[in-house]
Amino acid sequence: MHDPVAPPLQEERARFTGEDAEFRRLVTKGALLELATAGFYRFWLATRIRQHLWGATILGGDPLEYLGTGRELLYGFLFALAILAPIYIAYLLLGLAAESYKAFASLPLVLFFIAFGQFALYRARRYRLHRTAWRGLRFGMGGSGWAYSWRAMLWGAAVIATLGLALPWAAAALERYKMRNTLYGDLQGSFVGRGWDFFKRGSWIWLVGVVGVVLWIVLLGGVANSGEGHGAKPHAGAAALGGLSMLVLGLVAVFFYGAYKAIQWRWWVEGVRIGNVGATSDLRTWALIGNYWKFIGWAVLTLLLGVALLAGVSFALAHFGVVNFDALGSKSGPHPAFIATIIGWYLLLLLAMGVLWRIYFVQRVWKLVILSLTLHGLDAAREVKARETTADAIGEGLMDSFDIAGF
């Protein structure tokens, strides 16, 4: 008598229904409101961005829901600020006093703040999961932020000591801790991805990167020593070659970064499990690289337009006699109108770059990843029981205080 054959796992392609134009309007309007409210609208903007992305993500025919509020993020930020402000002041005073006696005496305080940042990252993830629902049930997350923090610190030291070779194993270990503390209803999360698999996929990036950096350092060393005689300056051609090499290195880095992120996303997606539910990804490397190049192109164009705008406004101020640029170096100092122009130009440029960042590093990457997903075993998520859990927004506030919140 033959054993019954297990039915194949249900497979379904993920969908993303958000419109690029709608998201672009959302973040552009949000940036202007951030400017008008001295930055306080950022909490409501982050909430609206998540509502847009979550609501447009369709898994198994049903969208995700984001249930957090801007008020929660604001309260979390203020509470975190009340904790961090005294620590910042104490750090400043103790750091100044310690450095007057011994160099690097404040290093333990720096390490503490790095550890605190890892704690904030974990708590922020916990908050977002507790505010995410699918088919009427919320996700959840337990575990300790400090337990994650010391793990991240130790693995970070190993990554530095091995010049990045330990990164795949560090990523796998940290993801295992996060996922085994992740829940959907009563389904337990897990991470089955292995560091060795990540290493095999991305080792060529590490090898080419190390060789490239070494060759670049040798080239710069040759440029620095290209002068005739001791203490002579390098030839103009050699200096130009050094500058060109830096530009080329930066442009090539875009390709390697896109390749690395594509490998990382595919490896991560294939390792995540919620109960028996898993996924695979066919994320295309060139799609990510192209997305990053679009960001660079628009950023360069925005910068050029910004410089042209500043030049035009400055010319107009000089033409109408508002600012005398010949007297800017005098003891009277720059004219208030010119100072206001510079500040306004800087803020507008900063907001424009923020809009581009949210479009190409948040929404477009999210869209590419979601559209690459094939979900497996969704039938295992039908009989899930709800859990009554919640989480505060302090972690998000800590992230905001460290300026490491993604969106």
Q: State the Cα–Cα distance between residues 194 and 35, nearest whole angstrom.
A: 45
Lowest mean per-residue pLDDT among 239-248, 270-279, 336-345 = 239-248
The answer to whether position 207 is within a domain reads yes
The answer to whether position 113 is within a domain reads no
Q: State the Cα–Cα distance between residues 178 and 171, nearest whole angstrom.
A: 11
SS3 (DSSP) at 278: strand
What range does the domain containing 219 cover?
134-278
Q: State the Cα–Cα distance between residues 120 and 124, nearest whole angstrom.
A: 6
Q: In what order do the strands lie in the sheet with 57-59?
A: 15-16, 57-59, 62-66, 132-134, 137-141, 182-184, 187-191, 272-274
The answer to whether position 365 is within a domain reads no
Listed in order, strand segments (DSSP E) in 164-294 are: 182-184, 187-191, 272-274, 278-281
Mean pLDDT of the chain: 83
The answer to whether position 377 is within a domain reads no
Give the pLDDT of residue 287: 96
The answer to whether position 51 is within a domain reads no
Listed in order, strand segments (DSSP E) in 212-277 are: 272-274
Lowest mean per-residue pLDDT among 230-244, 249-263, 372-386 = 230-244
Burial 240-278 (b: 16+ CB within 10 A, else e): ebbeeeeeeeeeeeeebebbbbbbbbbbbbebbbbbebb
Q: State the Cα–Cα distance between residues 402 and 287, nearest whole angstrom.
A: 31
For residue 327, give the DSSP letter. Answer: G
Q: Average pLDDT for residues 124-151, to the nearest whole number?
A: 93
Is the confidence at residue 406, as pLDDT, over 60? no
Task: List, for residues 21-47, the tens digit of each pLDDT value.
Answer: 999 999 999 999 999 998 889 999 999
DSSP 186-208: TEEEEE---HHHHHHHHHHHHHH
Q: In what order do the strands lie in the sheet with 11-13?
A: 11-13, 373-376, 278-281
Angle at 264 between CA 251 and CA 255, to 5 degrees: 15
The answer to whether position 143 is within a domain reads yes
The answer to whether position 232 is within a domain reads yes
Give the pLDDT of residue 345: 85
What pTM value is reported for the model? 0.84
The answer to whether position 378 is within a domain reads no
Task: List, for residues 139-163, the tens digit of each pLDDT value.
Answer: 999 999 999 999 999 999 999 999 8
Domain count, the chain: 1
Lowest mean per-residue pLDDT among 61-75, 162-176, 205-219 = 205-219
| Residue 279 near residue 193, CB atoms below 8 Å | no
Give the pLDDT of residue 311: 85
Q: Which residue has the higher pLDDT, 16 or 309?
A: 16
Radius of gyration from C-alpha coordinates of the chain: 26
Locate 184 and state its tokens.
């959907």
Which residues have CB under 8 Å from 268's CB, separation 6+?
A: 171, 175, 193
- End-to-end Cα distance, the chain: 58
Is the confidence at residue 225, as pLDDT, over 70? no
Give the CA-trace dihedral at 23, 27, 33, 35, to 10 degrees: -170
Task: List, for residues 9-21, the tens digit of each pLDDT value.
Answer: 568 999 999 999 9
Q: What is the β-pairing status of strands 132-134 and 62-66?
A: antiparallel
